[in-house]
Structure 1
Amino acid sequence: MVGVNIAANLVGKLVIAGSAFLAVPIYIDLVGKESYSLVSLLTTIQAIFILLDGGLSAGYLKQIAHYSNNTSNKEKAYNLSRTVEFIFFGMTGILFLILLGSRYVMVDSWLSVSESLRPIAIESFSYISVIVGLKFMSLFYSATLKGFQRFRALNLITVVATVTKFSISIYMLSYYNCVTTIFKVYALVSVGELIVTKYITTKNFHWKTYSFQKGIIEIRTIGRFVGTMAFVSVTSAILSQVDKVIISNYVPLREYSFYAISSLIASVPLMISSPMSSAIYPRLVQLVGNKDALSAFYIKYAKLIGIVIFPLCAFYIVNAAEIIYWWTSDSEVVEFSTTLSIYLISGSTLLAMMSMPYFMALAHGLVYIPLISNLITIALVIPSLIVILPVYGINAGGIAWLSLNVLLASLFNILLCRHEMWNLVKGWASINIKMLIVTVFSVYSVNAFLESLHVFNNVILRGFVSVPFIYLVFYRFWWK
């Protein structure tokens, strides 16, 4: 079941990521770099507000995953689900009103927007309010499907919606060449996506009598976990987006577009680890209490995440400038984004590897570990970024992001060791360090050999040969 769910998630993410990467140069060509920055800011705003769900979706997912393992809990699962759904409805309305009401402040006080783009930016933020609100509500339905391990259905919905968004928006831009066209299409497709996801979600419950009092009792059972996760969500939102918020306020919007492009490249490791770890997490919850089985499962899938992520990221770092030029055909983007993207993707690779320790802590209810790690990291990284930004420019964001994740990984694993998880931490660190060294050497050697052959002058062709070859070797090692 876990293997099938991981495969479904990876295929879904591959299609979504591929669509996003294909759309970027088309968007830039059609609306310009400055206007495209508004599209990239949608991702930042969405990430910030989605993480501010107060930890409710994380606590709810954990409990639903636990209940789904036993059919005798179907009444509890239904009452919990309906109550959480009502809460999300209210939170979505509040979020929409906050974003809509603050659109003028965001444009005038946050962004360095040219006067000619200001009316378009304000209109764009109106649609962003709708899109983010719909995405926030979908957190509940997505958490339900993940708890019941319905990853194939969830991925199918998301893939169809994503491809539809990009396809229709690119088509409509040929008639209405304005960035607001993109947001209008995104909003309409998001409505349809939410309706379909809700319909599929309701099919998982076989108990149809709702009791508000019993629902509140169920909410109380996850109250402590959710309460701490609320602070974790806030601090995670700050850590994941603070570089973009500070830099977008410091540099002109055109220069920020290079940072946005580099950030998209750096999101690849997380695009891979996220679907894998989200499929693994419900099983981790179910294995808590069976120490030997949990340990074996943890090490096995921590190793698998490294096998999938390391070769791809190492190949990018070795060939960053070539890949960016192949993708954008823009020498200016190559100049500003190559070094920056290497810093960013290195930090994201480490963060992706931290998904297993993170979910292990959550599975044991040790929510204080990510909270303390986040708070200490925020206290050190934000002042550092503000200090080095005038010296290093947008590259400061990459340096800060890499440093942030090194510090976060160190603190997190130190705290895990306090709960008799030294062997797990040691095993996780040992496996990843060994695989990283072997991967870097293998990728560099295979890439250099292929590059010496004229038939492999194209960087993408080299990637299609070298990365799958290393995957094959590593996968045989993992399977044994």
Structure 2
Amino acid sequence: MKKNIIANLIGRFWGILSNFLFIPFYIKLLGFESYSIISFSLMIAGIMAVLDAGLTATLSREFARTDKNEEEKKKIFTTLETIYYILVVLCITIIFLFSKTIATQWINTPYFTDNQITYFLRILSFEVGFQLLLRFYLGGFLGLERQVEANLYQIAWGVVRNAIVLIPLYYFPQLDVFFIWQAVTTILFTILLKMILQKRLGNNMFSFKTKIDKGILKDVGSFAGGMMLIALVSILNTQLDKITISKLLSIENLGYYTLALALAQGLIILVNPFSAALLPRFTAFYSISKKKEASELFAKSSLIISVIIFTIMMVMSFFAKDIIWIWTGDKKIAEKSYHIVPIILLSYTMLALAILPYNIAIANGNTKFNNILGITSLVLTIPGYYIFTKKYGAMGAASVFCFVQIFVTLIYFYFINKKYLFLNFYIDIMLRRFIFPLLVIGLIVLCLAYIPNYFEDNRILSLTWIGLITFTTLILSLGILVPKTELFTLIKFKKIKN
């Protein structure tokens, strides 16, 4: 598991690094108005992720199960892949057909014509469709516990898709060039991943087989259906703020809001390596009724994750304006977006901390509570986003998002613990994983923030200074909050055998 966590850390670190490296170049080469359209395209991709219908999570879970043989896994793969082909065609068709309507009735910008935006969206339809399929194949690698391999492919795809695109953009700084490059890159990498995954399953790399086994659908249908509902509710909860902003405010407001989100999403990226490595392990434990071992693994890993997440959140909140300026090189952009960052950071901190109990639920095939809680939260978000965005702008949307995530995460921890973990909720979870880390880390960062920054006019040295504060905070927090036995024994869990 140590190797898998390291591989996932490298892969997710690349995700964070690529945000910091490339978004400023996109803004510089294409202009902030074009970046705002790119932000809108990301929202479209997020919404269309509902078409995954829980199939990626189902594939990962079925591949991770120790009670399934190789032939059964091959049949599951063929059935789910065939369904996915249908969903990809549906995704491309929906975006392509409604592109004109979206351009004329949804996007508010004076910088592009309706016909230009329609053209961009039609190119985007192919990139979004094949990106769904690519992530489906990556889910297969993760389920087989091939995290190292999966992350190598994901990094390579990111380099070609997000970094090398800067070369054509330098000579042809046009938004359609950006979208065409991303679409072609994603299609080619999707084909490559399909071939390699088929080889890992013992199939012919070049075979193209489609078949839907009704027995398999019946077997995994309940889990996949629950995952689909989770995905739908999750998309509404995570995209509704951006949908509301794009409808009620100018597209530039969405751009500033998305910058804040891009910073905060690094918290999710930090947790995902642990999540990807731990989910197959939790699944294996629960599939052979080793509940005590699963609970022990959760206790060790969740405390470390809490310390890491709260450290990053606190440092980024205190230095939000400096970080955006360092990142974009534009003080005007920093002035217009930094005030949203602490609220968004707290929201994503809650989302990040909820990933591990979510893994516990998925490992047990339980999707019902996620759906109940997610649907309940929509009662707050649907009217909340509209009312507060209209009255307070992007800050209103961020505040509603933050309140809902805190509320949902605490309730979610309570019920997952009660059903599967059996820890003391108020001491082991609320105190040790929320309140105490937040207070200790906040106090450390507050003290360090009072040390004068003599490099505030130099972006590189300022980044180094903030990095030093982050590292110091993390080391001190781990030393205070995490027992050495928990810090060093997490990596000693062996591969589970039936």
TM-score using structure 1 length: 0.93
Separation in 2 of the partners of 1:210 and 1:264? 37
Separation in 1 of the partners of 2:230 and 2:19? 28
Separation in 1 of the partners of 2:133 and 2:278? 23
Preserved contact between residue 307 and residue 437 of structure 2 (Cα < 8 Å): yes
Preserved contact between residue 245 and residue 394 of structure 2 (Cα < 8 Å): yes
* Equivalent in the alignment of 1:321: 321
Preserved contact between residue 302 and residue 428 of structure 1 (Cα < 8 Å): no
Within the candidate set 144, 148, 151, 2:140 is matched to 144
CA deviations on 1:142-169 (whole Å, 9 max, x unpaired) are 1110110111111111111111222332
* Equivalent in the alignment of 1:464: 467
Q: How does 1:62-461 map to 2 (within 5 A)?
A: 62-66=61-65, 69=66, 73-114=69-110, 116-206=112-202, 215-288=213-286, 289-416=289-416, 419=419, 421-423=421-423, 425-426=425-426, 427-433=428-434, 434-449=436-451, 451=453, 458-461=461-464
Separation in 2 of the partners of 1:453 and 1:169? 33
Per mean C-alpha deviation after superposition, the further-off stretch among 94-103 and 270-279 is 270-279
Preserved contact between residue 223 and residue 367 of structure 2 (Cα < 8 Å): yes
| Deviation, structure 1 residue 131 | 0.5
CA deviations on 1:166-185 (whole Å, 9 max, x unpaired) are 23321111221211111111
CA deviations on 1:240-298 (whole Å, 9 max, x unpaired) are 11000000111111232211211111211111112321221111111111121111101
Preserved contact between residue 79 and residue 211 of structure 2 (Cα < 8 Å): no
Amino acid across the alignment from 2:430: A
Question: 3-state DSSP class of the match of 1:423?
Answer: coil
Q: How does 1:11-90 map to 2 (within 5 A)?
A: 11-66=10-65, 69=66, 73-90=69-86
Per mean C-alpha deviation after superposition, the further-off stretch among 54-63 and 81-90 is 54-63
Preserved contact between residue 48 and residue 241 of structure 1 (Cα < 8 Å): yes
CA deviations on 1:411-438 (whole Å, 9 max, x unpaired) are 3234335526441644233322222221
Separation in 2 of the partners of 1:216 and 1:303? 42
Query: Quick one: percent identity of the two aligned structures?
Result: 21
* Equivalent in the alignment of 2:487: 479
Separation in 2 of the partners of 1:420 and 1:226? 21
Per mean C-alpha deviation after superposition, the further-off stretch among 253-262 and 83-92 is 253-262
| Deviation, structure 1 residue 383 | 0.6
Question: 3-state DSSP class of the match of 1:57?
Answer: helix
Preserved contact between residue 324 and residue 338 of structure 2 (Cα < 8 Å): yes
Question: 3-state DSSP class of the match of 2:79?
Answer: helix
Decide whether aligned partners of structure 1 residues 133 and 213 sit closer, same or farther in structure 2, where only a CA change above 3 A counts. closer
Q: Which runs of 5+ in 2 are unaligned?
A: 489-498
Separation in 2 of the partners of 1:97 and 1:176? 28
Preserved contact between residue 60 and residue 222 of structure 1 (Cα < 8 Å): no
| Deviation, structure 1 residue 213 | 8.4
Separation in 1 of the partners of 2:95 and 2:378? 25
Per mean C-alpha deviation after superposition, the further-off stretch among 245-254 and 164-173 is 164-173
Preserved contact between residue 79 and residue 212 of structure 2 (Cα < 8 Å): no
| Deviation, structure 1 residue 454 | 9.3
| Deviation, structure 1 residue 135 | 0.8
Separation in 1 of the partners of 2:99 and 2:48? 14
Per mean C-alpha deviation after superposition, the further-off stretch among 95-104 and 430-439 is 430-439
CA deviations on 1:370-416 (whole Å, 9 max, x unpaired) are 10110111111221121112221111121011111012113323433
Decide whether aligned partners of structure 1 residues 455 and 122 sit closer, same or farther in structure 2, where only a CA change above 3 A counts. closer
Separation in 1 of the partners of 2:330 and 2:119? 29
| Deviation, structure 1 residue 40 | 1.4
Decide whether aligned partners of structure 1 residues 393 and 76 sit closer, same or farther in structure 2, where only a CA change above 3 A counts. same
Amino acid across the alignment from 2:3: V
* Equivalent in the alignment of 1:10: 9
Give the superposed CA RMSD.
2.4
| Deviation, structure 1 residue 217 | 1.9
Separation in 2 of the partners of 1:199 and 1:468? 41
Preserved contact between residue 161 and residue 190 of structure 1 (Cα < 8 Å): yes
Separation in 2 of the partners of 1:280 and 1:294? 10
Separation in 2 of the partners of 1:455 and 1:384? 40
Separation in 2 of the partners of 1:236 and 1:385? 15
| Deviation, structure 1 residue 130 | 0.6
* Equivalent in the alignment of 2:492: none
Separation in 2 of the partners of 1:129 and 1:147? 28
| Deviation, structure 1 residue 56 | 2.0
| Deviation, structure 1 residue 449 | 3.2
Per mean C-alpha deviation after superposition, the further-off stretch among 401-410 and 414-423 is 414-423
Aligned residues: 476
Separation in 1 of the partners of 2:406 and 2:456? 39
TM-score using structure 2 length: 0.90
Separation in 2 of the partners of 1:104 and 1:62? 39
Decide whether aligned partners of structure 1 residues 107 and 316 sit closer, same or farther in structure 2, where only a CA change above 3 A counts. same
Question: 3-state DSSP class of the match of 1:276?
Answer: helix
Preserved contact between residue 82 and residue 212 of structure 2 (Cα < 8 Å): no
Per mean C-alpha deviation after superposition, the further-off stretch among 368-377 and 5-14 is 5-14
Preserved contact between residue 63 and residue 140 of structure 2 (Cα < 8 Å): yes
